[in-house]
Amino acid sequence: MSIINEKNKEIISGIEKLFDTSFSSTENSIILDIKNEATNYKIHLEMFPDEVKSNEENYLISVYTNNCHLQLQNCKRIIISQMLEEIIFISETGDKLSGLIISKRGDCALYSNVDKDVLSKDFSELNSEKLLSAVALSVSEEIPD
């Protein structure tokens, strides 16, 4: 059985288009190596599809860079933004939201356990640290589940 199926084929295609590269796959994961010679960055992205009881597909996302390893579990939504040139992997539980962002420029960011109500607050009322997560994850509100 192939790890790439009809459910994730469109997502994979969109990510490949954004980063102008192709995924490879193992028995358990879908792998993408992102490189930019001009900025000398390398990102290794692995997506592990995980069927949950509700027959909904989740992913465990692992990102390796030269100096860090980031992991997001229970990723239920993936937002591909050609305009922002980034992918946002979203995990939600109750009133909390976590997002792992990978930029075409080579930046990676993880915002974890962000209160969902922060995204709809007046940004001028937030301190600088909460403002960063609110702005970065606000795109998740625009796309329905």
Residue 56 — φ and ψ, nearest 5°? Answer: -100, 145
- C-alpha–C-alpha distance, residues 145 and 124, integer Å: 27
pTM over 0.95? The answer is no
Give the pLDDT confidence score for residue 143 in this predicted structure. 46
Per-residue pLDDT of the chain (145 residues; tens, 9 = 90+): 456 666 778 888 999 999 988 989 888 899 999 887 788 888 999 999 886 655 667 899 999 998 899 999 999 999 999 999 999 999 999 999 999 999 988 889 999 999 998 888 888 888 888 888 888 888 777 544 4
Q: Is 17 exposed, middle or buried (0-12, 13-18, 19+ CB in 10 A)?
A: exposed
Question: Quick one: how far is CA 52 from the chain centroid?
Answer: 19
Would you list the domain boundaries of the chain? 6-140
Q: Is 38 exposed, middle or buried (0-12, 13-18, 19+ CB in 10 A)?
A: exposed
